[in-house]
Chains A and B, each alone.
Chain A
Amino acid sequence: MDAAQLDTIVERYPGATGRVLGVLEQVQRRAGYLPRDALEYLARKLAMPLSELYSIATFYSFFTLEALGEHVVTVCMGTACHVNGAPRIVERLERLLDVGAGETTGDGKFQLTTADHAFSLTSARCFGACSMAPVLRIDNRIFGYVTPDKIPAILRQFDWEGNHHRNY
């Protein structure tokens, strides 16, 4: 993102209330992550130490410092989803996308991107769509009542070509 784009975002927050998180949220939504040069530019623009902005960027789980894949698959890890089988959904997604969330789920949180950068698999706390648990979100679409077997068809809607090497 260039300086002009960042300036436009900052201008949308004339008051101090909610500004810092609001600006970062817009950058995250537009760029898909918080690029380092954007943070450095914003630190100067908002007159904050870079260390503070970096601290914020690493505190809130909505922000990422690395570019995510083209499509972001987010699995809801809320209570209703948990009791209705979210862990099995994660397992299947790991295998289909060939990424190893299991290795990093010690803290219940993961963020993995496929080798071709087409998909990122992440977790989120409750989406608030508990009535259709388990749910997952791909980009901005929410899919409810997901079962492991429904996942390939869902992924195909996002140009997933499947893993041809193995048979699932």
Chain B
Amino acid sequence: MIRVVINGKACTAEKGESLLSVARRKGIDIPAFCYEETLAPYGACRMCLVEVVKGAQEGITTACTLAAAEGLEVLTQTSEIVSLRRALIELYLAQAPRSEAIRALAQRYGIQKTRFARKVRPDDPLQNRCILCGLCVRICHDVMGAGAINYIGRGHFTEINTPFYEESAVCMGCGACARVCPTQAIAFEDIVQTRTMKSWSGTRVPLHACSKCGRHFAPAPFVNYARQKLAPDLQQTPLRLCPDCRSREIARKAVLLSTGAAVAD
């Protein structure tokens, strides 16, 4: 363990740990959109700017990509940093005018409106909320191993979608993309037996039915994927049941065990 100083407060950290993670553990508020503990630091959203006052590279940098080192001292809320963040928020407000998350942050930073031209597309599959943080692309590729979506184009023409803007053959419908999205830009809905990833060119994924109650409760390709990740002796039982039936099943077994009756499957 080493010691770093954030806003004058001493904090303990693992050597090499992301400074953003150290700060968050300490309850120090640093906004960030493109950071997720399970993924490698990406440095794209630029919101987690901090000023290094003592360390290898002094000056303004991003906390997510800053590795904790003994004696490192940073400030997270100097007037310069706040004004840079405010300008960045204005850019985000123009880029993703329908994002409530961005608007909420803007309010916290006392920004009423952006000076920049707002980009609104009525048919935007990402609901005019996407800020291109890339978390969905990375979670889909790096963690889920599906690679269903990616960046398309470059510069401010960049979009995120499926190749050729057509239904994806490899999307498992797991919804990890929607879960990590900081601006709730990704839309999907479940109707009876089918999940439709509305943001991803309407990709349709069949839902798996519970073997007990028959309710369609999870995307079938994802159930298969999850099953493969389990040890062979666990691959059968738990995932055939929906969460409700599974807890009922576990409770039933517990009752039977406590009453000494033989467990019948």
Contact = CB atoms under 8 A, between A and B. Distances in A.
Any A–B CB pair closer than 8 Å: yes
Interface of A: 36, 39, 48-55, 58-59, 107
Given A59-B153, A59-B154, A49 B148 contact: yes
Contact of A58 (B149, B153, B162): B153
B164 A36 contact: yes
A49 B150 contact: yes
Nearest to B163: A54
21 contacts: A39-B163, A49-B148, A49-B150, A49-B170, A50-B170, A51-B141, A51-B147, A51-B148, A51-B149, A51-B150, A51-B168, A51-B170, A52-B147, A52-B150, A54-B150, A54-B152, A54-B163, A54-B164, A58-B154, A59-B151, A107-B157
Nearest to B140: A51
Most central of A48, A51, A58, A107 by chain B CB within 10 Å: A51
Interface of A, helix, strand, loop or mixed by DSSP: helix
Contacts of B152: 54-55, 58
Given A49-B148, A54-B150, 14 more contacts: A49-B141, A50-B163, A51-B148, A51-B150, A51-B168, A52-B147, A53-B163, A54-B163, A54-B164, A55-B151, A58-B152, A59-B154, A107-B155, A107-B157
Contacts, number: 41
Which bracket fits the contact residues of B? 10 to 19
A40 to B, nearest CB: 9
Interface in B133-191: 141, 146-155, 157, 162-164, 168, 170
Contacts of A59: 151, 153-154
Contacts of A36: 164
A50 B147 CA distance: 8
Interface of B: 141, 146-155, 157, 162-164, 168, 170
A48 B147 CA distance: 9
Contacts of B154: 58-59
Contact of A49 (B147, B153, B157): B147
Contacts of B141: 49, 51-52
Nearest to A51: B150
A51 B163 CA distance: 5
A36 B165 CA distance: 13
A50 B150 CA distance: 9
Nearest first, the 3 A-B pairs at minimum CB distance are A49-B147, A54-B163, A51-B150
A52 B148 CA distance: 9
Contacts of A48: 147
Nearest to B162: A51
Nearest to A61: B154
B2 to A, nearest CB: 37
Contacts of A49: 141, 146-148, 150, 170
Contacts of B155: 107
A107 B154 CA distance: 12
